[in-house]
Amino acid sequence: MAETTVNVSTQEKKRINPQIENMKTVWRKLRSNYLAMAGGVLILFFIIVALVGPLLTTTDPLAPNVSDRLQGPSGDYWFGTDHHGRDIFTRIIHGMSITLYIGFLSVFIGMIVGVILGIVSGYYGKRIDAVIMRTMDVLLAFPGILLALGIVAVLGGSINNVIIAISIFSIPVFARIVRGSTLSVRKLEYVDAVRALGASDFRIIFRHILPNILSPIIVQATLRVATAVLTASGLSFLGLGAQPPTPEWGAMLAAGRNYMWDHPHIALFPGLAIVVVVLAFNLFGDGVRDALDPKLKS
């Protein structure tokens, strides 16, 4: 009995150790990429600011103050004030939560729907594959920002409609990546063995195929957040996203363009915020991609 227990324990360790070693290898690669780590630290900082920052600010980001309008950066107003006298720093802090909310939620929705469509298309093939992929091709025929513009124009300008628009044009990207990965994994011998043992399609898909195609999904999701943030800001800049006086960075940038020459700080700081957030996600996404790529040696 003791020998049996030892053998089972040994087998369990052999099965778990490769997973642990793989995670350690990924972390070691990611840690050695200083740009990716810098991007990850910035993302963590942005998340903390989005959660805690609005609770620490004392100025109302929506309340106008005509007596302090169009003031430059100073000790009282670190980023200056806008044409309504509102503190730009406070508005950027409050806008952080809106920006990350749009970015994460839209990508999450697009990822869930795209993964389901892609894995079903790649696993079953034939007519199901043809119908799903041709639909994705139609969506991919439109540039992302143009498709989002059309959707928001139909639904109306609001944050929720922006999330819906970004989610829709993110679906085909995930669907095509997942389909390709599924096609390569479903041909492996262990999938045939599990099917021969009587496992259902649901079990094969979610217990044996999906865990083995997570790497490209994670990489694409990380990079897609940057695209979502940029698209949401662009829609708000055009007046189709968050509506004034919401402290959304794209809307703030649009409001500041009329004062670019005399008071450039109104547009400068929201623009810099967008650039830094997008850059952080791109740097981190590139690092995650390199760390998860089995073809790259540490």
Looking at residue 10, what is its pLDDT?
47
| Digit-coded pLDDT (tens) for 22-34 | 677 777 877 888 8
- What is d(CA 86, CA 66) in angstroms, rounded to the nearest whole number? 8
Q: Scanning the structure block, which residue is given the tokens 């790259």?
A: 296
Rounded to two decimals, the pTM is: 0.85
Q: In the chain, what are the domain boundaries?
A: 27-51+87-292
pLDDT by residue (tens digit) across 267-297? 999 999 999 999 999 999 888 888 876 555 4
Give residue 294's pLDDT.
58
Cis bond before residue 270 (omega within 30° of 0): no
Superfamily name and number for 27-51+87-292: MetI-like (1.10.3720.10)
Residue 271: half-sphere exposure toward Cβ, Cα within 13 Å? 11
Distance of alpha carbon 283 from alpha carbon 256, whole angstroms? 28
